[in-house]
Structure 1
Amino acid sequence: MAYAPMTARSRDEAHRTATPLELFFDLCFVVAVAQAGRQLVHALAEGHVGAGITGYLFVFFGLWWAWMNFTWFASAYDIDDVPYRVATLVQIAGVLVYSAGIPRAFNDNDWTVAVIGYVVMRLALTAQWLRAAAGETGAARRCALTYAAGLVLCQAGWVALLWAPEGSRRWLFLVLVAAELLVPVVAERRHQTNWHPHHIAERYGLFTVIVLGETIAASTVAVQSAIDEHEALDVLLPIAAGGLLLVFAAWWIYFAVPAHDRLGSNREAIPWGYGHYVIFAAAAAIGAGIEVVVEHAVGKAHISTLSANLSVSVPAATFLAFVWLLHSRHFKRGPAQQAVLPTAAAAILACAWTGTYAVLWAGLVAAAAVATGVTLVHRTRSEGVKRQEEVRS
């Protein structure tokens, strides 16, 4: 059976939306997100802050980078035929293997299973790029071949990492991360792939929603378990309420502006896409932090109240700050609107020093930031309408 060649889709394609296969892909990646969050909870609850954060950021990079590479490739070349679907399903299998290896990588610095899963994902994507190269000519073909070559070289580096001395693996990991990040920059220096701005913005938004949903699920399970085991509803209710307000506010703030309007070329899109590593990692870490606070409230976490509170306030503040940095600030009008999210991020961080009600205070600050932002935008629009009416009269 012959299949049509893989050629780039149009950047101007109307009604370009996420496919059911892409949504399935995202949901399977959340398994790995949940594993990373679970390991972060255990590390923070035991007071292993440095090792916990480092391990979390490392394992999160692998799953985020594989997700991101597939997303941008699919935006340009998704033809939804049988070979494309099979290659995508192989990548899903790879992330499930990667997920199974997260505990060993996190706790024992043993990356064997994680690297196997990662290589499976990347080799499937390499096959996709080679297929794209076969259907292209000129600069587009060279771009696709450069992607494939870069992927192969990086995967050889990850495999070699397994034989490196254990003490040097974390430093070599950073070198390989830098190499991975350079592949798109080098591949697209003379030819930009035909990724679709609206589709990319939607894909990132959907993954943000899924990660926030995982945060709610993890927090709910933690609160429920604590209630069942300790019957401490009066202590846990403020934590649950504050956590819910944080997640609601995070969703509202992220989707307050149309991100696709900023994605005109790689010059804007690459920093925006790369910066979402922090947004996604912070969103998932909010749920882990709430779990830590719950465990501290019932006496299961061996850390101080301040340390427990910081496990929520730091990722929540980071999320707000990076959403503002990557796209919200480009749509704000005037110093008052610009100041809302940075001020809220600083205030949420300060809430860590408010004791046992820190999560509730942080949630209230986030809710106030949403209310203030909505009010300022409405006021600006009303003033604009009023000025137009005065000009007409």
Structure 2
Amino acid sequence: MKAYIRPMLARDPDEGHRAATPLELLFDLASVVAIAAASVGLHHAIADAHALDGVIRFVMAFFAIWWAWMNYTWFASAYDNEDALFRVLSMVMIGGSIVIAAGIDPLFKSLDLTTVILGYVITRVPLIFLWLRAAMADATRRQTCLRYAVGIAVAQIFWISLLFMPDVSMTLFLGVFLLGVLIELAVPALAERSVNTSWHRHHIIERYGLLTIIVLGEVLLAAYIALQSVFGETTDMSLIRVAVYAVTVMAAMWWLYFSDEDHLDDTNLGRALSWGYGHFLVFGSAAAVGAGFAVMVDVVTDHARIDMQTAVQSVAIPLALYMFSLWLIRDRVILRGLASFIPLIFAGLVLVTVFVPVGFGWLTVLSIACVVIRNALARAQGLADLGDAS
């Protein structure tokens, strides 16, 4: 029988068969709720012709969701001992994610961050105690753990102070918010500059892959909305095309992400940070693609204040960002020659559709072509390397 409280010792980074735990999957489920709420907010903002405001609010909400998830994920990879206290504190953080989700609607409607900040702090404060527990048990990395605890505490004091900030201009408000983001991003880089935590590379890759699947689910949700409309209030066959295109683009996005090559090929701190931080673009853009397809449904059913070309742009821009982000965090590092540039090239081609009035079917064609060409060139490179080695 497991003890209720155990020392929070560092886990073995080379542990075999390390996989996501049921508790981590439950944390992901809470993140699903918040991500879905942020995507809905972006969807309605674009459909109501408030795209810029919607994108700003979406980025703010998504940062809170992603950073809470990311910090929990990396801590659990290094120190999850599955004792009762770890589980209880994890449940508190899961509750915080739900509070964040509840605050997203006020954020989109009136830029009211109160509930989002409250939920965010709830997800972060328990992590301070977890890092202090790790500091007591892991003498080798005690300094690293204490830096995390202090850094997270300082960041939460900053966010709470925002609740008492007087009314200021939008520009100043965004500047202050960006300062808070920079403080948060600096904590891991400063904490691990001397001794790294013992996170598990394959475990981290799996955890990021699981969240990628979650955000791709937003595209499937848009396809569901389209088909629901077909069999509901309208029989416009354009909705069937939207659903087919959404599922096809989602499949291409999945195939691009889950390539044969390892995403994170090195445990070097700089590489780990750029890969981990760069996933903000991967996750955010994937969720935004789903919102864009939902906007297309609104345009077809006359529930939007924008035209179809604008709806196409609402898919094309995040889709291009998704391709660019995969080039940034993976292909430019692990591939060579032309193969390493394929996602970047196709990101540019997708962006062309923003300026040239084309049907949204072209986004599907470009997505499929990117997968086929990228993977063919990557496979050819792999075979060439194998031949050289022999």
Could you say which TM-score interval applies, normalised by the shorter chain?
A: over 0.9
Partner in structure 2 of residue 374 of structure 1: 375
Superposition TM-score, scaled by structure 1 size: 0.93
Partner in structure 2 of residue 348 of structure 1: 350
Distance 1:199 1:125, change over 3 A: same
**Deviation for aligned residue 1:263:** 2.8
| Contact persistence 2:103–2:115 (CA under 8 A) | yes
1:225-304 matches, within 5 Å, as 225=229, 227-233=231-237, 235-304=238-307
* CA offsets 1:349-389 (integer angstroms, 9 cap, x no match): 2234564722x21011111111222333444455566778x
1:58 paired residue among 60, 65, 82: 60
Partner in structure 2 of residue 180 of structure 1: 184
1:1-393 matches, within 5 Å, as 3-138=5-140, 140-167=141-168, 168-225=172-229, 227-233=231-237, 235-335=238-338, 337-353=339-355, 355=357, 357-358=359-360, 360-381=361-382
Could you say what secondary structure the match of 2:246 adopts?
A: helix
| Contact persistence 1:208–1:280 (CA under 8 A) | yes
In the aligned structure 1, how far is the partner of 2:164 from the partner of 2:244? 47
One-letter code aligned to 1:119: V
**Deviation for aligned residue 1:193:** 0.6
**Deviation for aligned residue 1:2:** 6.2
| Contact persistence 2:205–2:264 (CA under 8 A) | no
**Deviation for aligned residue 1:70:** 0.3
| Contact persistence 1:324–1:341 (CA under 8 A) | yes
| Contact persistence 1:320–1:345 (CA under 8 A) | yes
Distance 1:326 1:100, change over 3 A: same
* CA offsets 1:92-137 (integer angstroms, 9 cap, x no match): 0110011101111222111111111111111111111111111122
| Contact persistence 1:293–1:309 (CA under 8 A) | yes
In the aligned structure 1, how far is the partner of 2:263 from the partner of 2:287? 23
- CA-based RMSD of the aligned residues comes to 1.9
* CA offsets 1:231-284 (integer angstroms, 9 cap, x no match): 112x12222222212110111011114335523221100011001101100000
| Contact persistence 1:47–1:303 (CA under 8 A) | yes
In the aligned structure 2, how far is the partner of 1:249 from the partner of 1:46? 29
* CA offsets 1:53-85 (integer angstroms, 9 cap, x no match): 100001100010000000000010011111111
**Deviation for aligned residue 1:305:** 2.7
* CA offsets 1:164-202 (integer angstroms, 9 cap, x no match): 123343321111111111111111111111111111111
One-letter code aligned to 1:41: H
* CA offsets 1:15-54 (integer angstroms, 9 cap, x no match): 1111111111111101000000000011101111111110
| Contact persistence 2:4–2:84 (CA under 8 A) | no
Q: Does 211-220 or 304-313 show the bigger shift?
A: 211-220
* CA offsets 1:288-330 (integer angstroms, 9 cap, x no match): 0001111112221111332211100000111011101111222
| Contact persistence 1:45–1:295 (CA under 8 A) | yes
Distance 1:382 1:133, change over 3 A: closer
Q: Does 378-387 or 277-286 show the bigger shift?
A: 378-387
**Deviation for aligned residue 1:4:** 1.9
Could you say what secondary structure the match of 1:256 adopts?
A: coil
* CA offsets 1:205-238 (integer angstroms, 9 cap, x no match): 11101111232123312442355122112x1222
| Contact persistence 2:4–2:85 (CA under 8 A) | no
Could you say what secondary structure the match of 1:71 adopts?
A: helix
One-letter code aligned to 1:225: S
Distance 1:82 1:253, change over 3 A: same
Distance 1:387 1:225, change over 3 A: same
One-letter code aligned to 1:160: S
Distance 1:382 1:171, change over 3 A: closer
One-letter code aligned to 1:315: P
Distance 1:377 1:182, change over 3 A: closer
In the aligned structure 2, how far is the partner of 1:225 from the partner of 1:125? 43
Could you say what secondary structure the match of 2:13 adopts?
A: coil
| Contact persistence 1:226–1:295 (CA under 8 A) | no
One-letter code aligned to 2:243: A
Percent of aligned positions that are identical: 39
One-letter code aligned to 1:190: S
**Deviation for aligned residue 1:334:** 2.6
Distance 1:113 1:378, change over 3 A: closer
| Contact persistence 1:275–1:326 (CA under 8 A) | yes
| Contact persistence 2:72–2:127 (CA under 8 A) | yes
Name stretches of at least 5 consecutive residues in structure 2 with no aligned partner: none
One-letter code aligned to 2:294: E
Distance 1:356 1:220, change over 3 A: farther
In the aligned structure 2, how far is the partner of 1:364 from the partner of 1:231? 25
One-letter code aligned to 2:215: V
Distance 1:364 1:260, change over 3 A: closer
